[in-house]
Homo-oligomer: A and B are copies of this chain.
Amino acid sequence: MTPSTATTLTPGARRILEVASSLFYERGIHAVGVDTIAAESGVTKRTLYDRFGSKDGLVVAYLAERDRRWRELVVDALEAAAPDPSSRVDAVFEVLATWTAANGRGCSFVNAAAELPDPAHPARALIREEKQWLRERFADVLTEGGVADADAVAATLLLLHEGAFVVLSAGQDPDAVSEARQAAGAVVRASLGSAGDRAGRGPHGSTS
């Protein structure tokens, strides 16, 4: 538990960030004005600009804070899981299930990317890194589990993970996460199977 970014904030700044985080996520970034954020934080606009410099600065802080909280969950889940690749990958998808249960509006990074087309926007780097980080966690788990083509399998797992987020929120399929979880399990088992023999049962074949 390293002292988080949140700890270094002044009380007003922390309230601003909490309110902004909630409003940006629920309503969208462009749809929420700084006046609203300041009012709901019980703070003046002056304070908001003194703390975060600009609306963009606040947006970046919002994404960074969500990123931090989510990574913490993933890291903790990976440490708590049984050491075999199937269990560890499944733990990541369980975090997704928990996270989406409390965050019904999809992935804040994907949503932010939709609203911030400028590739030079500082938030875009955060978004890119978030996806890459998860992919690397998958690859680590698979490599440590002895999977040969860990990078390729990790790529597939990332696709399933992100696909679940989108199909759940935009497509409104309530089973998306559990579908992804099952498919991920099948992919991991197939990749473990192919380490020894190349047969590979189907992704929807018999489970335990």
Q: How far is the CA of A115 from the CA of B175 in the complex (A)?
A: 23
Is the CB–CB distance between B183 and A194 below 8 Å? Answer: no
Q: How many residues of A contact B (CB 8 A)?
A: 62
Q: Which of A144-189 contact B (CB under 8 A)?
A: 149, 152-153, 155-156, 158-167, 169-173, 175-176, 179-180, 182-183, 186-187
Q: Within 8 Å of chain B (Cβ to Cβ): is A67?
A: no
Q: A173-B131, A200-B199 known; A31 and B166 CB under 8 Å? A: no
Q: How far is the CA of A153 from the CA of B180 in the complex (A)?
A: 11
Is the CB–CB distance between B163 and A204 below 8 Å? Answer: no
Stretch at the interface among A1-9, A39-47, A102-110: A102-110
Q: How far is the CA of A165 from the CA of B165 in the complex (A)?
A: 12
